[in-house]
Amino acid sequence: MFRKIDIRTKGSKNAGFTNALRFLGTKISILVFAFDFSKGIIGMFICQIFGKMLNLDLGMCLLISGICLVLGHDFPIFFEFKGGKGVLTSLAVILYLSPIISLICLISWILTIKLSRYVSLGACVAALIYLIVGILVYHTSVYYCIFIITISGLIIWNHRANIKRLINCNENKSNWFNR
């Protein structure tokens, strides 16, 4: 709780970056951004260290860890399973696993927001781009495909209320890239 505001009671009622930006301002939302993103990177790095130390199948270990990091962000135990929508943490995990694909997703996210002014649409488009490009690149790995479908599915599932608002033409627009 910052500034005596529980962000989970405002706007989209989630603890993510976009909601923090709308209700807590730029400075605190930058902290949220940094925390959500670094959660994914640091978690994957720790997994890699322990995976090597314990001589585990590193690829499988990283895929399972990535899903757990995103699930932990989306449904945190300490916040009654009400977290963010997982976009930044997912991006960090994808960056750790596939830097080029994460860059493609980031560019699609930014372009969609720039053209439509809908952050939620940008997240859903990036998730769909990840699904398509990821499966095209990693189609020979069943486990990687399951990971890609899970991460993309979680992002889209967490945006289902936004998708309904987009369909009904009452989703909030953003001025992020139009200033």
Instruction: Tell me the pLDDT tens digit for each residue of 76-133.
Output: 998 888 888 999 999 999 999 999 999 999 999 999 999 999 999 999 999 999 999 9
SS3 114: helix
Q: Which residue has the higher pLDDT, 118 or 28?
A: 118
Domain assignment present for residue 174? The answer is: no
Separation of alpha carbons 84 and 8, rounded Å: 9
What confidence score (pLDDT) does residue 3 get?
Answer: 58
Domain assignment present for residue 126? The answer is: yes
Total domains in the chain come to 1
pTM: 0.91
Domain assignment present for residue 143? The answer is: yes
**Amino acid, single-letter form, for residue 121:** L
Separation of alpha carbons 143 and 106, rounded Å: 23
Give me the helix-helix angle, 87-97 and 99-116, nearest 10°: 150
What confidence score (pLDDT) does residue 79 get?
Answer: 83
Domain assignment present for residue 177? The answer is: no
- Tens of pLDDT, residues 30-68: 999 999 999 999 999 999 999 999 999 999 999 999 999
Mean pLDDT of 136-163: 97
Domain assignment present for residue 52? The answer is: yes
Domain assignment present for residue 175? The answer is: no
What confidence score (pLDDT) does residue 78 get?
Answer: 87
Cα angle value 127/132/133 (rounded, 5°): 95
Please provide the DSSP assignment of 47-109 as one string: HHHHHHHTT--HHHHHHHHHHHHHHHHHS-GGGTT----SHHHHHHHHHHH-HHHHHHHHHHH
Separation of alpha carbons 126 and 90, rounded Å: 11
Range of the domain at 11: 7-167
Cα angle value 45/120/24 (rounded, 5°): 75
First to last CA, the chain: 29
Q: Which residue has the higher pLDDT, 173 or 109?
A: 109
Q: Which residue has the higher pLDDT, 15 or 114?
A: 114
DSSP state of 8: G
pLDDT class for 145, splitting at 50, 70, 90? Answer: very high
| Cβ–Cβ < 8 Å for 84, 74 | yes
Q: Which residue has the higher pLDDT, 16 or 161?
A: 161
Residues 6+ away with beta carbon under 8 Å from 84: 14, 15, 16, 17, 36, 73, 74
Q: Is the pLDDT of residue 179 over 70?
A: no
Domain assignment present for residue 1? The answer is: no
What confidence score (pLDDT) does residue 56 get?
Answer: 94
Domain assignment present for residue 72? The answer is: yes
